[in-house]
Amino acid sequence: MSPTEVKFPVNFEWGVATSSYQIEGGVHEDGRGESIWDRFSHTLGRVHNDENGDIACDHYHRFEADLDLLQMLGIKTYRFSIAWPRIFPHKGQVERRGVEFYRRLLTGLHERGITPAVTLYHWDLPQWLQDEGGWENRETVHHFVVYARLLFEEFGSLVPRWITHNEPWCTAFLGYGLGEHAPGLKDWGAAARAAHHVLLSHGLAVKEFHRLGLKGEIGITLNLNHVEAASDSEQDRGAVNLTDAFFNRWFLDAVFRGEYPQVLKEALFSPHLDSWGFVHSEDMKVISTPIDFLGINYYSRSVVRYKEEDSMHVERLPASLPTTEMGWEIYPHGLYALLTRVRAEYTGELPLFITENGAAFADELTEKGVTEDGGIEKSGIEKSLVGKGVADAQRVEFLRDHFDAALQFIREGGPLRGYYVWSLMDNFEWAEGYSKRFGIVYVDYATQERILKDSAKFYQKVINQNGLEDVLESRA
């Protein structure tokens, strides 16, 4: 393969992603209010080892050093989220110190030549809104628009890329249906209401953004799953249809076609609802307001088959391929297949971003001699990173193979504009607490030391040469 064939487009946006609750800590700083994740993680039995995000990566106090790290790695774009409870800690009350924290972060990124991509909602709903019904309550939609407007007005000139919501599937289905995430409800009727209101708030925020005439672009991030049938039987294909509606089409159909898949309405939600009256006549039009790009988070695939005894007649098969620490099958081809499918069926030439892709592995910190990197004299942030390491060959391979899949899509003319690796550093992995490490940078939680994993050095190289040349060569 010639080097030109393994290059990404010159302006390809290589990035990393994080989210507020997962890294910030500082939960009582500068007037921040309680979020549903504070409440949930402090409820015994909800999170692995009863861990919480009180300190997390202490990014709230260490953000300057973390920005230096981004710069050192050559990261072009950084995706992070704003904590709503730092901006509106209580009903109707704006906390300027919260706003100013994010202004410092954004300014710091600009000073280092890194493009920000801001997610408005990455799951840390203010608890005062949950007390009024959370996403089940249509009023939350209006509060979201007020919050979004304030941020558009404050940061419109500093932020070229906005993401309304991160993974509404998780907000609604994990949070209200499966009960694994905050607020921890197990009610599929509530999940349908929550999903609808999240999507409605997305559509209204997009409209608001355009009404303000801001220069940047706005989109949404969906977590999509590549679903395959265990066999070619009609029944197994039916199981795929339903699973795909559950993971993917509920949100894709709503955002791009202004409709919900009938098959899932009937099979999952309707039995738990008195009526669909919460879907008002104009809502679907608002939800499908045109966006400027779609963000896709891709981690894995599902293989399913028909199962008579299951209430939905679906069984998800156990993994048959190697998995990450999350138990998720490693399946890079699924990324290519998803991108191709989304483009063909929904987005056409609309720009796409992979807003998250990455893997958790059982990383081990090793002590290495300072001469490991050739004994080159280092200074500043680089100096502080010499001496320890993590040989995370599996993560390097994971990333390399997924970059390769993305490149295949690009070679076929696919409008993929950027790639955000999840995550910059190890962090609070929701219900899994700190037990799962997704970072390309290791975090020693006892000291808050950041240590480059081999995957960070690999990524630095990929960014530097804008492609995978020697990585592919090393495979031969």
Nearer to ligand IFM, 170 or 287 (CB): 170
472 Cβ contact partners less than 8 Å away, ≥ 6 residues apart:
1, 6, 404
Identify which of 371, 365, 411 has the alpha carbon closest to the alpha carbon of residue 388. 365
CA-only gyration radius of the chain, Å:
22
Q: State the minimum distance, in angstroms, from the CB of residue 119 to ligand IFM.
A: 10
Identify which of 372, 365, 369 has the alpha carbon closest to the alpha carbon of residue 389. 365
Chain mean position to CA 391: 25
**Residues within the interface to ligand IFM (CB under 6 A):** 19, 22, 167, 297, 356, 422, 429, 438
| Per-residue tokens: 351 | 């720009």
Q: What is the DSSP code (8-state) at residue 316?
A: E
Please, what sign has the CA dihedral across residues 77, 83, 88, 94?
negative
| Per-residue tokens: 385 | 């990173």
Nearer to ligand IFM, 154 or 356 (CB): 356
Q: What is the DSSP secondary-structure string of 342-385?
A: HIIIIITTS-EEEEEE-------EEE--GGGGTT----HHHHHH
Q: Which of 356, 397, 432, 469 is catalytic?
A: 356
Q: State the minimum distance, in angstroms, from the CB of residue 139 to ligand IFM.
A: 26
**In the chain, what is the straight-line distance between the N-terminal and C-terminal CA atoms, in Å?**
10
Nearer to ligand IFM, 95 or 124 (CB): 124
Are 201 and 286 a contacting pair, CB within 8 Å?
no
Identify which of 70, 16, 123 has the alpha carbon closest to the alpha carbon of residue 429. 123
Q: State the minimum distance, in angstroms, from the CB of residue 361 to ligand IFM.
A: 13
Q: State the minimum distance, in angstroms, from the CB of residue 95 to ligand IFM.
A: 24
Q: State the minimum distance, in angstroms, from the CB of residue 328 to ligand IFM.
A: 9
Are 134 and 35 a contacting pair, CB within 8 Å?
no
In the beta sheet, which residues pair with residue 452? 441
Q: State the minimum distance, in angstroms, from the CB of residue 16 to ligand IFM.
A: 12
In the beta sheet, which residues pair with residue 229? 304
Helix residue spans in 212-348 (DSSP H): 234-244, 250-257, 262-264, 283-287, 332-342
| Residue 384, phi-psi category: left (phi > 0), alpha (psi -120 to 50), beta (remainder) | alpha
Q: What is the DSSP code (8-state) at residue 271?
A: G
Does the annotation count 136 as an active-site position?
A: no
Q: State the minimum distance, in angstroms, from the CB of residue 429 to ligand IFM.
A: 5
Q: State the minimum distance, in angstroms, from the CB of residue 25 to ligand IFM.
A: 16
Q: Coil, helix or strand for 280?
A: coil
Nearer to ligand IFM, 315 or 432 (CB): 432
Pairing of strands 314-316, 388-390: unpaired
| CB-side neighbour CA atoms (13 Å) of 66 | 27
Q: Measured between alpha carbons, how far is 223 from 166 in angstroms, rounded to an integer?
A: 8
Does the annotation count 234 as an active-site position?
A: no
Q: Which of 13, 136, 154, 167 is catalytic?
A: 167
Report the catalytic residues: 167, 356
